[in-house]
Structures are given as C-alpha cells and as structure tokens.
A and B are shown apart, each in its own frame.
Chain A
Amino acid sequence: MRRREFITLVGGAAACPMVARAQPAGMPLVGYLNASTPTTYGDDLRAFRAALKEDGHVEGENVAIDYRWGENEPDRLTVLAHELVRRRVSVLVAASAPASLAAAKATTTILVVFMVPEDPVKLGLVASLAKPGGNATGVNFFAAELAAKRLELLRMLVPLAKRVAVLINPAEPTIAAANLRDVEAAAASMGLQIRVFNASSVAEIDTAFAALASDRPDALFISSGPFFANRGVQLAHLATRHAMPAISATRRYPEFGGLMSYGASLSDAHRQAGAYAGRILKGAKPSDLPVVQGTKFELVINVSTARLLGLTLPPSLLAIADEVIE
C-alpha cells in the first residue's frame, strides 16, 4: 500500500503542467545542466519540478530554472557550466557524469547537485557518500553495476542464446569498461560468447547494426550510459528491424519498441535531485546532504516486441517485471 502511494505521489507530481521558464527579478535561480537533448527528459523533469514544488518552490512563481543541454556534445558542457555559474545560480543541478564533472569544475562555491550512474567517490565528486565534504552532493543511481544482472535477464527471455553482441560507446570509456568487464564475467559464468561492437555516434550505431546484421548474434546487450540512453528510438528501431532481442539500461528503450530494460529509475533520480535542490534553496548546508543511492530498479518488458520476436515470457520473468508494455 505505502509503496503504491509513494509511486502515485511521484506520478502525480509528474503530471504537473509545464510553466514559463523566464526568470523574474529577485527569484532564486536553479541551473540545470544535462549532457543530452531535452526531448527524452520530459518525465524526469516533471519529477524534478514536482520535488521542488514539494518544498514550496514553484517554477515561475518563486523560483526560476535555467536549463542547459549539452546536445550529446561533451565539449559544450564546460562552457554551459560556466555560463550557469556566471548567472549566479543558487544551485546547479547536473545530470550525468560528464555534466556533473563540468559543473563541479566550474565552481567551488555554488552547490552542485549531481545525478551520476557511477560511483561519485571514484569520479572525485565527493569524499564519501555519507559526508560529501565539498560543494557537491546528489544522487548515485546504479547503471553499470547492473550489467551482469541485465545480461542474466536478457538470457532469461532468450534462454537459447549462445552468442551475444555487446554495443558499447568508446567515447564513454569508464562506462564502457565497466559494462564490458561485468558482461564478460557474466557471460563466462553462463557459457555465452560475446562480441563487442563500438558506436559513438548516430552513424556509427547504424554501422554497428549493419555489422550486427551480418554477424547474427542471438541477442544484443546495449551498454548503459547517456549516449545510448538518448538514442532509444534509433536503437529500438534498428533492433526491431534486425529482429534482434536486446536489453537496455533505460526504460525508454522498451517504451520506444525495444524488448526490455533493467536499470535505475532516472525519474527517481530527478525526484531526489529536485528534493535536494529545494532543500539547498531553503538554506541547507552541503554537510547536511549525503549522497543518495538510487535503489529503485525497473524491469520493463515490451510484450508486443517479445511476441514479434517469437519469444515466450517465462513466468519467473513476469513475476519480477515492474512493467509489462502491451
């Protein structure tokens, strides 16, 4: 019951209408820096704004939010971060590791609320999760760590698979390495053969799928990371076209017609970040705010795609799926 209420709460907040983004004079300003494009972040931003509102900060009424998008070009992030710092934002919210690192480098005084899938201690953002120690805190949600689990889930749906293709983005080396390491270990334990394909751009994804088509693996493992997360539509389209059962880290993939996804909820992360931003606006000190670990993992399965691919959903998988898209 409580769990449902909790989710409903988040859902309700997400339903709030968008408001004007102009910043009237005297309002506190929240900077939002995202390495990606705005198109796929509607729900997440809704969750973010809802969390702010829970603390009484309503965008356009008593708070202004300045959104900056990296458009998947990492070089822009530093410039954008400095722009936000110059605007003297009260708090700088950064989604993804590159954005967070850019933000953290741009300022040592403005508090940065990050959302990173990697370990922020390893990234150098904080000293420890419980006591961040600097001007940055935020949310750490799991992505790369779930690679093995993701491979297992993929195999549960495609039990006969022997050869698995792994799509990674070498432009995100840490993520790629983490994924690859976990996947290789898991594949070895399960007796799977893997083959790695690289793609760092839209064109390369096409090229990679062309290569995949000739190789014909039994399933595809799509690495986590913002790049692939933002290319959900293209990936789903290509996978379906090549009748390739694939698993992604973000739920957008099954939503756009991909087979399945398993990973932390980005909306949940945004909700947490929004809550932190709200508290910082109210004057909370960074020492009061430990790094929150995202514990909400979603298994989303697109039943139509599965049926299309001729896959039968085992009851065990159904039992654990958080969402089944018909």
Chain B
Amino acid sequence: MKRQQFIDTGGLIALGHDLYRLAAARVDKLINGARLGNLPTKFELIVNLKAAKAIGLSIVRIISRPSRRGDRMMDRPKFAASRIAELSGWRQISGPLFRKYVALFLAVVCVALLSNGLLEIWLSYQEHKTSLIRIQREQAAAAAKEIGQFIEGIKSQVGWTTQLPWSAATIDQRRFDGLRLLRQVPAITELAQLDSSGKEQLKVSRLAMDVVGSQKDESNEPKFIEAVAKKAYYGPVYFRRESEPYMTLALAGTRRDAGVSVAEVSLKLLWEVITGIKVGERGQAYAIDAEGRLIAHPDISLVLRNTDMTRLTQVKAARAAETGAQVEPVQDATDIRGRAVLTAYAPVAPLGWLVFVELPAEEAYAPLWAAIKRTSALLFAGLTLAFLAGVFLARRMVGPIQALRRGAARIGSGDLTQRISIKTGDELEALADQFNDMAGKLEESYADLEQKVEDRTHELSKALEQQTATSEVLRVISSSPGELDPVFQTMLENALRICEASFGNLFLHEASDSFRMVAMHGEPSSTYSEWWQREPVIALGDNPRNPLAQISASRGVIQLPDLKLEQAYKDGNPRMLALVESAGARTLLGVPMLKENELVGAIIIYRKEVRSFTDKQIALVTNFASQAVIAIENVRLLSELRARTDELAQSVGELRALGEVSQTVNSTLELETVLNSIVTKAVQLTSTDAGAIYAFDEASEEFQLRATYGMDDDLIAAIKDRHIRISDAGVGQAAQRKEPVQVPDLRLEPPNATLDVVLRAGFRALLIVPLLGAEGIVGALVVRRRQPGEFPKSTVDLLQTFSAQSVLAIQNARLFFELSEKGHQLEIASQHKSQFLANMSHELRTPLNAILGYTELILDDIYGETPAKMRSVLDRVQHNGKHLLGLINDVLDLSKIEAGQLTLSLNEYSIKGVVHNVFAAVESLATEKRLALKVDLPPDLPAAHGDERRLTQVLLNLVGNAIKFTDSGEVKIKAAAANGTYTLSVRDTGPGIDPSDQAKIFQEFQQADSSATKKKGGTGLGLAIAKRIIEMHGGRLWVESAIGQGATFSFTVPIHVEQQAEQT
C-alpha cells in the first residue's frame, strides 16, 4: 500500500480509505454466495512514531498500541480527522509562515534599535571619556598649581629674610628672623644666610645649634650662583638618610648686597597638599621630581621608600613629553599598585616636577557602565515589545491561513461536511468561501459516486455470478478430462441455479436422428426419472412435435413459455403429458449444442411455473451448450490421443531397445556384452520373465548357452550341462524349421529333459526364435514366461528383429577377430620388409660405389689411356651405375621413412637458395632438351626454418620430373609466402596426368603411364619420398593436371618448422 510505503520510508502520518481492500472483500463475499452489506466506510490512519519523535511531536494521546514499525488506527473518518486536528493543533501557530513573519518583524526592529543603541553607547562612551580626561587634566593642573603655591608660599616666607641689605640688620636681628621663619614654616628645617660674597654668615636649624659667622664659602655652590643669577634657586630633591625627601631653596634679595638665603625644605609636608587633592572617590594625586622619584603621595610610606616611578608608562610618556618629544599622552594605565587607572598630569612649572592625577578606571567608567546598562535595558524592552508586536501581527495574519489549512486538510482527509469559518473580510475570507463551495460540490459528487458504486457493484455481482458459474464449469472440464458426466452435471446445476429453473436434461444427438438423455439434474419426480431410465433414447421420427425435434429442425434456441399451450400436450403425447403432469414443468428452454452447425446435442431446462427466461439466462445456457460441445470434443480428441500415444509409446520403447542394442553392437565387439544386452532388452520389451541366447557350434552341432537374463544360477548350470542338439525339441526344432517356435504351456508338451528343467524353474511358456546367418544356423534366442499362453504376433516380430541383431553381432565379432589377426600379421610383415629394404639398400650401395669409383678412375685414365670403344662402354656402365645408385638411395630413403628412421635436420635456410640450387642443378638438363626454365621469386621472401637438404631434394625431384616428362615448352618454378606458409609450384607443359592416375603417382613404385615411364626411366619412388618429406614438414604436396594440359606440382611447407610431424 502506498500509505504503508510512505510510513515505512519515514513519513509521519498517512490517512486514507480502504476501498481496494473493501472491494476485494466484497468479491470474496460474492463468491461465497453471501449478500452484500452496506458500503463500509472504514478509514485508516497510520502514524509513524519514530518520525514523530524525530520532529518532537508527542502522540501519547492518540496511539494506544505503539509498535516498532508504525501504528494503525481504524476508525470512522470523522474520528480520525478530529485526531489529526488535535495533532496539528498545537503546532499550528508556530508554522513556518508564522515564524517567518515574526522573524522578519523582529529583524527590522532589531536592526533599527540595535544600531541606534550601539551608536548611542559608543558616542556616550567617547563623550564621557573625553570629559573625564578633561576633568582630570584640570584636576592635575589644579594640583600642580597647589603644589606650586606651597613652594611659592615657602619661597615668599624665605623672601622676607632677604629684604634687607646685609649691612642693615644686626646678626641677632637676622637670627631672630630666621628662628621665626622656622617657627612659621614647619617644612623648613634649616636656614642659612650668605652674604653677597657667598660667605655663610648665619645658620639656624631645628636640629643643630645655630651657627653665626662661620664664614663658610659657598660662593661656588650652584645654590649661590644660580640664586644670584636668577633670584631663586630650586635645588634637586634629595633624600635625607635615603628616606625623607628634601629640597634646597635659595633666594637672592632684590638688592645686590642683600645676600642669599638658603632653606632646606622637607617635602614630607607636601603630603598635606597631596592628600588634600580629592580625585573622585578613590582617586589620588602624586608628585614626582625631575628624576622620576616619588616626592609626594597620599601613602607617605611610598615616598619614604624612595620609590622610583619611571617604570610606569604614564610617567615615562609624561617625562618624554616634558623634554619636548612628541608623545601621545597616556590616559589608560596602571598605577603603582597595578590597578587600572585613568591618568592625567600637569607640570609644576619652576621645579620640573610632575603632578599626576589618577582615578581608578572602575570608578571613572562607572557612570558610563550605568549608561550602557540603561541603554541595554531600554533596547531589550524595545526588542521584547517588537517581538510581542511581531507575534501579534503574525498571529493576525497566519491565524486565518492556519484555519484555512486545517479546513483544507480535513476536507482532504475525507470530512466533506467540514466548513471553514473566517471573518476577516479580505481575500482570505473569499478563499475560505471558495473552499467551502468546493467542499459542498465534492460532497454532492461523492454522494453521486456512492450511488453509482452501489449500482455498479450490483451489476458486477450478477456478472460475477455468471462468470463464476462458467469458470466452475470450465474448471470441471479441465479437472476431469475424458469424463463427461461430472461436466454435464455441473453444467446443468449451474444453469438451473442461475436461470432459476427447477430441473433440466442434457441430450446427445445420435446418428439415427435420435437423442439420448445423458444427464439430468433436479429430479422432478420418480416417475419421470424412471421413464428416462427405461427409455433414454428418443427417436425424433416417433415424436415429431417434441421440443428436441424443433431444436433439431431450427438449429436454434427454443423457449416454450407454457407447455400446457403446446400442441403436443393438447394432443396427449405421453412424453409431454408425463413432463407436464408428473414432473410439473411449465416453461421450457431448449438450447442446441452445435459443432460447426452440426447438431451434437441439446440442453433443456424447465421451470415449474410460467415465467420466461431472460436473454442473459438464455445466453448463459447457450454458453454452457458451447462449452458442452467443447467438452465432448475434448473427450473425443483425448481418447484418440491416448490410443495414439499408447501405440507411439510402444513403438518408441521398441525402437529405443533396438537402438540400444544396435549401439551396443556397434560400440563393442565383445560378444558376451552384446548378447547379454540383447537378451536383457528382449525380455524387458516383450514383458517376459527370462531369456537366453544359444550359439550353434558347427563343429559339435550343439547349441551352447552364451547369454541369459532373469535366470538363477541353478537353472543356468542345469542348462549348460545339457547338450542341445539340432534334433532336439524346442531350440533344435526352431533351428530346423528356421522359424519361431512357441510353447504356450510347457505342461501340455510331451516330456523333454531340457524343457523339464525349465518347467521346474517355474516357467510355463516360451518362445524360441532361430538365429539365422547367411551361411545357415548361428544360434537361437529364447524368452520364457511364468504365465502360460500364446505370445502375441508383435512379440514374435520384435524378437525376430532382435535375433537379426544377434546374428549380426555374432558375425561381427567373428569377423573382427579374424581381421585383427590378419592386421597384426601384416604389420609385422611390413616392418620386416622395411628393415629388409633398409639393410639391403645399404648392402647394395657399398659394392656399387666400388663399381662407380673404379669406372671413374678408369675413365680418368688412371690406369692408362682408355680406348674410345671401351670408354663408351664404361660411360654406359657409369651411367647405369649412377641410375642404380639413385634407385638404391631412393629405396633407402623410403625404407628409412617407413621404418621411422628418417629424421629431419631442422635449421635456418633460405627458400631462395633452395630454388637457386635446384635451378643450377637442372639448368643443363633443360638446356639439353631446349626447354625454357623459368623462376618466379618475389624479392622479399622471409628466412625459413626447416630441413634445407630434404626440401631441395623434393624440389629437385619435382623439377627433374617436369623436365623429364616435358618434350617442349617450359618449366616454371614459382615460390610465394603467405600466412606463415611457403607455397612452391612447378609447372610444366608436358603431356599431363589423367585424373585417375593422379593419386597413384604418389604411391611407391607407381608411375602414370607405364609406357612413358619406360621411355623416360625413373624408379617411381621420387614422388612418394617427396610427399613423405613434405608431410614430415607438416605441409602438403599435390598435383593439378589434365591430359594435354601440362601438370602443376605444388607443395606447401610452414616457414618455421620447429618439430618433425608424426609419421602416419
């Protein structure tokens, strides 16, 4: 099911009706004869739990029986639809469209709010920082000013002591002034007064005793020189006992002779000044001297520790800037304790000191953070508001769409009564209305459809019923081949049921225009049935008004609506009376069974009430009639087929047995095997119990047991002991008559020793067939049966066939034995011959060589001058000797070949060289006979591998023959290479060779024409040897010629011969 597939492949929910399954169920019911109920409206909801879990749906409330694969729920569509609505209900508001709207709205507002907020934060940060720095600078400037004022205050106090010229006041006066200064200014610990020449005149101190007029010369000290020059001298800061900061302050009076006052100022008291400078809540100010050492700090201990501040970045930068370098002022730094601070500085003008003002960054930026927090809170509030607005707007927009979707989903799921209610007054409402219209129309058409389905189903069921009946008849026909009764019964039964008839008959038409009742169904009454049993055949001649007669006449369907109105009834026809009165038939329907317009029979059905059969019913019965004809025909054909098949099977069995026997005969020459096979087959095929084959021994004129089948060892032993003679009964008798003899029952035969043995073994009948060869009796074939009785002719015929085979086998075996004996003898003789020839040739050649050698010596005048007469004789001796030597060599070669002693010596050679050697050897011969010797060699023949000497011998033989047998014209040698093979041919314009002689010339000692040979000479061995040599090379030698057309001898050899071919 598609829905199940959808679920199986991971779908979430599938919903659909179950019409296919319902239709199938309904058909089932129809077949079972049940009535059709209402149209079931079961729907199916399939929910995939896995898929639901994957997307986070909870479906606990819907599914009560969860299963691994998915779950099913069958219910009314409305229930299912409501479940689906529930399922989708809590997801409806967060659908994609809704989220999109909310996200879009949020995005727009977020961008605006965020950019604005961040910009504001950034701007206020910048502004705040700028103002902080500005304030700090101001504070630093103020602090510097205070410190400056502190020093200036001391300076002005000291200044009083330099008002008067040195001569104007007594030393006591000056001392008093000094002491008063110490009293007024606690920071000054010591005051010295130098006169205008730089001599110390007075020194008052808090610690030491006052000194008057020490006259200590200080004129070279910077404090004096600078004070005189600049009126004021600020000495560098020094640390008394390495702890307390001090400074020397020297002032010169306005008058030249006022001298210089030198004060040692303790800077520890700057603490008061520096502590008094308030920088924010936790900020502080401090001062460093020109060397970068701390001279004033709220934590006095830092000062006392003589702290070096130059490592601080802000101090470094400030000192660099004071020396005139272009340095970016450091604003964010860490203080001496490592805290992050916002810092600013100002120089204390005349002293070269720097005052730093530092505010902890935490405190400095606190307002800024507050502002950022405020802005963020506002931003968040704005975003929340935007989100809520977005949700509200999206809900307003998506709500109706969701309602539409839900409605459409319900309509889609089959709930056509569903109407969508949307009152937005816009396009969505119009859309909803259209949906509602559509649903209404769907509902109407669905109702129509249901009605149509109902009607159609009814029709369908009727048709189905008829088809089922037909198919049942067909089933019966096919399930009971060859039997007509069940077919006719089923046919009638179905016809009666569907046509609502009471009973019916089936008739078959018979030759003498009569009908035989063959089937009846319905059993209307016993009298009626008995009638038909008594008289199953109606002759139409006797009943001209019988309905069957009408069918027979018209070859068509007849319907008699009321039998009581029929003439036959009115005439009082006894059959008709019995039909109407006894069986109660009133309406009759008769249908002929026609086979190609030939009346085969008829079906007649009856109703016991007057009611006509409908066309469809008639058609059905007609259909049955056709089927009945087919069934009858089938039965006829089937019985014919069976008869033929049986015959064929018999023949095939016989043929197969014979074939097997023949195969055995041909496949083996073992006589025992053949005979055993024959007797086995004979027994099996003739359906007998045992059999035996006897062979006739001509010498002893007795039959000997050669093969048996189905006989136990005792019987075999008993029969073997018996000497069955030709005069004996049974086998002997058959042999004498040369025809089969059968004994139907052994018990009825006159007593006979052999037959008794057989009888005792349990056999009652036997059939003996003599085995007759061309030269008389060969043996006998016997089969035995345990049942008495005649053997049918077919068995006898069959056995005779077997006997012929047996004769053949026996004779074949004998022939083969003789043949192999002779072949063996011949082979030995041939070997002897070859050996003899080889030996003889060798023995002959040795003396002949001596003859030739000495003849040549004589001709060479070794033994003195040879007379002319003798020379011509010696020439003949030498010529004939050479011929004889050639003959002997040829014989030697041939014998070597035959004896398998000739071996090829395979080496590289050039075919061109072979041809040239031959050409050179025979050129003089050709010239002698005025023959043109031509050579046709392609320029690029490949190098070859083979026995060059032997191939030269072959070609020489061919060319020599051509020259020898050609009296005029030409001899042409041609060579060619193709496909790894050389083809050489020697063509002459000689007399030609008759086709009948062409095979002969390749045999030993044979020539085409004896007369020509005698004239031309030759041993007749050359071609035979040439052929062998070529064959040993794996090639072929042949001739093409016709009388008067010349001859062409050709041979092929593989270019590369790697191995000598096997001698045949």
Chain A interface residues (CB < 8 Å from chain B): 2-3, 5-6, 128-131, 142, 145-146, 148-149, 151-152, 186, 189-190, 279, 288-293, 295-297, 315-316, 319-322
Contacts and interface: CB of A to CB of B under 8 A. Distances in A.
Range of interface residues on chain B? 20 to 34
Nearest to B307: A130
Contact of A148 (B182, B209, B272): B209
B278 interface: no
B186 interface: yes
B505 interface: no
Nearest to A185: B209
21 contacts: A2-B273, A6-B272, A128-B243, A129-B242, A129-B243, A130-B305, A148-B209, A149-B209, A151-B209, A190-B209, A288-B305, A291-B243, A292-B304, A293-B243, A295-B186, A295-B244, A297-B206, A297-B207, A316-B175, A319-B179, A320-B183
Contact of A295 (B189, B208, B306): B189
A167 B628 CA distance: 170
Contacts of B793: none
A20 B301 CA distance: 31
B180 A320 contact: yes
Contact of B300 (A131, A292, A319): A292
- Please classify the interface of chain A as helix (H, G, I), strand (E, B), loop, or mixed, using the class held by over half of its residues: helix
B102 to A, nearest CB: 56
A200 to B, nearest CB: 28
Contacts of A151: 209
A129 B244 CA distance: 9
B179 A186 contact: no
Contacts of B266: 295
B241 interface: yes
Contact of B301 (A190, A288, A295): A288
Contact of B268 (A145, A289, A295, A315): A295
3 A-B pairs closest in CB distance: A290-B304, A129-B243, A319-B180
Given A128-B243, A319-B176, 17 more contacts: A2-B276, A3-B269, A128-B242, A129-B242, A130-B243, A145-B207, A146-B207, A151-B209, A288-B305, A290-B243, A290-B301, A295-B186, A316-B176, A316-B179, A319-B179, A320-B180, A320-B183
Contacts of A142: 207
Interface string B147-176: 000000000000000000000000010011
A211 to B, nearest CB: 27
A291 B208 CA distance: 22
A321 B206 CA distance: 12
Q: Which of B189, B208, B300 has the most CB of A within 10 A?
A: B208
B332 interface: no
Nearest to B239: A130
B961 interface: no
Nearest to A148: B209
Contacts of B244: 293, 295
A129 B305 CA distance: 8
Contacts, number: 80
Contacts of B182: 320
B1004 interface: no
Interface string B271-299: 01100100000000000000000000000
Contacts of B276: 2
B210 interface: yes
Contacts of A131: 305
Contacts of A289: 301
Contacts of B242: 128-130
A131 to B, nearest CB: 6
B93 to A, nearest CB: 61
Contacts of A148: 208-209
Contacts of A5: 272
Contacts of A186: 209
Nearest to B304: A290
B205 interface: yes
A19 B294 CA distance: 39
Contacts of B179: 316, 319-320
Contacts of A297: 206-207
Nearest to A296: B186
Contacts of A152: 209-210
Q: Which of B182, B183, B205, B266 has the most CB of A within 10 A?
A: B183
A195 to B, nearest CB: 20
A293 B300 CA distance: 11
Q: Which of B239, B241, B273 has the most CB of A within 10 A?
A: B241
A150 to B, nearest CB: 9
Nearest to A290: B304
Contacts of A315: 176
A288 B273 CA distance: 22
Contacts of B205: 149
Contact of B305 (A279, A290, A296): A290
Nearest to A145: B207
A179 to B, nearest CB: 14
Contacts of B183: 319-322
A189 B209 contact: yes
A4 B276 CA distance: 13
A69 B743 CA distance: 169
Interface in B304-340: 304-306
Nearest to B179: A320
A173 to B, nearest CB: 23
A219 B80 CA distance: 127
A149 B206 contact: yes
Nearest to A186: B209
Interface string B192-216: 0000000000000111111000000
Contacts of A316: 172, 175-176, 179-180
B149 to A, nearest CB: 11
Contacts of A291: 243, 304
A39 B239 CA distance: 38
A6 to B, nearest CB: 6
A83 B1057 CA distance: 131
A256 B743 CA distance: 188
A291 to B, nearest CB: 7
A3 B186 contact: yes
Interface in B243-283: 243-244, 266, 268-269, 272-273, 276
Contacts of B176: 315-316, 319
Contacts of B175: 316
Contacts of B243: 128-130, 290-291, 293
A172 B205 CA distance: 27
Nearest to A142: B207
A295 B243 CA distance: 12
B967 to A, nearest CB: 149
Nearest to B240: A293
A318 B206 CA distance: 15
A208 B879 CA distance: 192
Contacts of B172: 316
Contacts of B300: 292
Nearest to B273: A2
Interface in B417-468: none
Contacts of B180: 316, 319-320
Contacts of B206: 149, 297
Nearest to A297: B206
A227 B272 CA distance: 34
B100 to A, nearest CB: 61
Contacts of B269: 3
Contacts of B301: 279, 288-290, 292
Given A3-B186, A316-B179, A293 B209 contact: no
B143 to A, nearest CB: 14
Nearest to A299: B183
Contacts of A290: 243, 301, 304-306
Interface in B133-153: none
A293 B306 CA distance: 14
Interface string B402-428: 000000000000000000000000000
